[in-house]
């Protein structure tokens, strides 16, 4: 198993790539430390751990508290998966609100950067670590009327090349998965999936002619967390069926 005995910290695990990454990581032998804001409620933690036996739900929300709790519980973190789910709000230039833009940057660039700051010291000390941003392929092509979302994702993607160069000498790799057109309720709600006309128009833009699955995305994330990706760093890997 490619992640046997590895400890993965996955953020916002109830969103975006969280479930797929958890399923694949557990199947590959990893210990999964799962963060989600909903886990402040004990019932949400119990529900998650029942759905994914072997995973550990962490209730901390503040990045510093989350990393402190993870390190206290397991002693080290082998891989940080910044699973930054955030709404892709339609915002034509003349209508876009600066407060929405700032919130997007906070969620998709500032908070993940802070988590890397907190996790990196222990990885550097151990001379080993994986950092993976679950991001978007949108900055690779651009999408009209979504400039705040796309540019916030671009900021996250931009962290990858600089952090990879900064942390590489200490054995820490930094990569991103540039996702698009992957099934998940955050970006493809059930009503949209049930709309055959809309889905036909959408999938016509994808060379592979279909949406990706959550487990396919999770497998890509887990690959970048594994030894098999030990010589890959500073890379934004498109995961979009050929769209990017």
Find, among 20, 31, 34, the residue nearest to 177 by Cα: 20
172-179 and 235-239: which strand pairing? parallel
Cα 189 to chain center, whole Å? 19
Distance between CA 209 and CA 150 in Å, rounded?
A: 23
Which of 48, 86, 146, 149 is the catalytic position? 149
Residues forming beta bridges with residue 131, ordered by sequence position: 80, 174
How, if at all, do strands 56-58 and 79-83 pair? unpaired
Phi, psi of 201 (to 5 degrees): -65, -40
Alpha helices in the chain (DSSP H): 18-27, 42-51, 63-74, 98-105, 111-126, 138-141, 147-167, 190-193, 196-203, 214-225
149 included as an active-site residue: yes
Which residues are annotated as catalytic?
Answer: 149
């Amino acid at each position: 198993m490619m992640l046997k005995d590895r400890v993965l910290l996955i953020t916002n695990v109830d969103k975006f790539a969280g479930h797929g990454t958890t399923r694949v990581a557990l199947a590959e032998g990893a210990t999964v430390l799962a963060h989600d804001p909903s886990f402040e409620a004990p019932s949400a933690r119990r529900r998650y751990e029942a759905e994914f036996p072997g995973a550990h739900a962490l209730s901390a929300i503040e990045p510093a508290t989350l990393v402190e709790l993870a390190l206290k519980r397991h002693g080290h973190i082998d891989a940080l998966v910044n699973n930054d789910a955030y709404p892709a709000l339609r915002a034509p230039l003349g209508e876009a609100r600066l407060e929405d833009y700032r919130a997007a940057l906070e969620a998709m660039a500032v908070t993940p950067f802070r988590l890397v700051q907190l996790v990196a010291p222990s990885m550097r000390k151990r001379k080993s670590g994986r950092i993976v941003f679950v991001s978007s392929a949108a900055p690779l092509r651009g999408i009209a009327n979504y400039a705040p979302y796309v540019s916030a994702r671009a900021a996250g993607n931009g962290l990858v090349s600089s952090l990879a160069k900064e942390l590489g000498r200490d054995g820490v790799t930094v990569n991103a998965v540039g996702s698009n057109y992957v099934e998940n309720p955050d970006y493809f709600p059930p009503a949209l999936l049930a709309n055959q006309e809309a889905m036909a128009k959408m999938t016509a833009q994808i060379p592979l002619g279909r949406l990706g699955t959550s487990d396919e995305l999770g497998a890509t994330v887990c690959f970048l967390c594994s030894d098999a990706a030990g010589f890959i760093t500073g890379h934004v890997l498109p995961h979009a069926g050929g769209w990017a």
